[in-house]
Amino acid sequence: MGILGIPGLGTTELIIVLVIVLVLFGPKRLPQLGKSLGKTVKSMRDGLEGKDDEEAVEAEEAEKPAAAAAKKEDSEE
């Protein structure tokens, strides 16, 4: 079995794919591409686990007041 569990994908093939991606997107866009890919994978995992967008929004809203309070405390010091 090859790298990442994909049969026939060895080190040489992986390097060739990475070079092609670098040529196509350029070094300046690679961080954006990685971030976008990470968000896509996260949303796919959340979807497979049955998490709804509503739950994600509620979790973000619950974190905002705590972050705002911590920021306020830092500014008072």
Q: Is the pTM of this model over 0.85?
A: no
Q: Please, what's the b/e burial string for 31-50 (b: 16 or more CB within 10 A of its CB; e: otherwise)?
A: eeeeeeeeeeeeeeeeeeee
Give the type of residue at 9. Answer: L
pLDDT above 70 as % of the chain: 60
Instruction: State the Cα–Cα distance between residues 25 and 8, nearest whole angstrom.
Output: 25
Q: What is the pLDDT of residue 26?
A: 87
The string of pLDDT tens digits covering residues 53-62 is 566 666 666 6
The domain locations on the chain are 3-76
- 71 pLDDT band, cuts 50/70/90, is low
